[in-house]
Structure 1
Amino acid sequence: MDLALNLQLEELSIVETYIADHRFGLHVLFEPEPNQEELERTLEAVILRYEARAALLTCTGCESLFTRYQSFKAPCDLHYYCRECLANLFEYTIGDESLYPPKCCDQEIVFDNVKTLLDDKLVARYADKKIEYDTEPDKRTCCCGSNCKTFVPETNVQDEVATCPDCGKTTCTICKEAAHRGDCPKDEDTQSLLELADKEGWQRCYNTKCHRVIALTTGSNHITCVCGAQFCYVCGARWRTCSCPQFTEEYLLAGVTRPRNAGYRLYQPPQE
């Protein structure tokens, strides 16, 4: 407020001096009366300059003066930011999640509303960071590379393997270590299911993109999974690649107790 008041007083002083000097000059040149029309035009021009100066807005960040077209009005309707300070708000947020999302007076500055006021490179970097911040912390996967640690978006995750968009390394989304084949030992839900399957004598599909657990109630040991894979219910091997019996008598009859086959073993995906 003090700065604006001082500017106004300074401008008024300049106006008064300018008018006085102009009147004196006109009086000397066109005595005895100055040109009234010229005086009015001069006064109008000065007033326009004064009004333009009075219309300048103060940036909340750097306290510099800017026109309305050079600044951004915050959603709180109380503060304005020049483009440089607005960019700084988003730049700081990229480096500090506690500042996300950028706010003014506890009201969010919506990214989509200011993208046209920001540099293209900053827009791209913030857009990537926004995806990371919008992902729940326990569901985030960062590259396992010791010199990378880049966040891997969901679009780069397939079958619980995250591929880093920067260095290309693959990371297990469960244990957060380097990607590996087979079941992740830190996947507690899968481990519990496999323990139950082994206890009940169920079998598991060998297809790396499936691995469903299947319980046979009635029928032969020839299993065709919903994914299309065919395998032996006794040992889990691809169909016709093992010496297990094609039928187990108890599984051909309904309503009888089905003992575990002597050759039963639950299929285990290869590990690396």
Structure 2
Amino acid sequence: MAETTADWEQVLNDADDETVALLIKLSLEDLNTLAEQQAGTADGPPPDQVIVREQWATMLRLYSGRRGLATPPSSQPPVECSVCNEVRPVDDSYQAPCGHWYCDGCLNDLFHAATTDESLYPPRCCRQRMPYDDLASHLFTRARLAFEGKREELDDQSRVYCRDPTCSTYIARAHRADDVAVCPKCETEVCVNCKNEPHSGVCTEQEAIQVTLGLAAEEVVAAALTSVTSAAQLGKPATVRNGTKTAC
């Protein structure tokens, strides 16, 4: 990496300012295009490639600053962040579906917070969800990797965690088969229904629920029969409860 950087800087040192500015501009555009393409893949960009790409982009910008080259002006006017009220370039900002603008810094703070405070998930503004694929390129490496690492867990409505209290790792759906989940960290097996040790037959908790429901149904039937019997003896309409409703 160091030799490649030195060779690249030597090429830039030997070129005139106009050529250098064009080379840096095109290189940054290529890096941005690559980032967008990789962000659209199912697995996302490999972490090592993300780090190398961002290091190159940073070195190019630093070299441009040392060389005293002017930053190409944006074709759009700057915008004001709705969170910190700082005025930032459009390229360094994201517009939420509701129309509010977020600078990249505040956007990253929001997505990082959403991985630790579930009340903030999914990230949204004015109660409208922010489409992740539309803003992934605005997230820094740490926030992006943290969010992508928690995204499946936070979206899972039937979460399963390792039953070993010293582990408690989330078990993704890829590690579940039938009614058994296997912890990817310590390989402990978990029943996906009762969250205890795998077993044959119906879960104890599920069996208890079925018994409770059966007893409740029997009580409803018994109450209905009592009402009908009493009404018949008194010659009055019978009152029968059906769930939460009463019929006469």
- TM-score computed with the length of structure 2 as normaliser: 0.48
TM-score (norm 1): 0.44
Which structure has the larger Rg? 1
Larger fraction in helix: 2
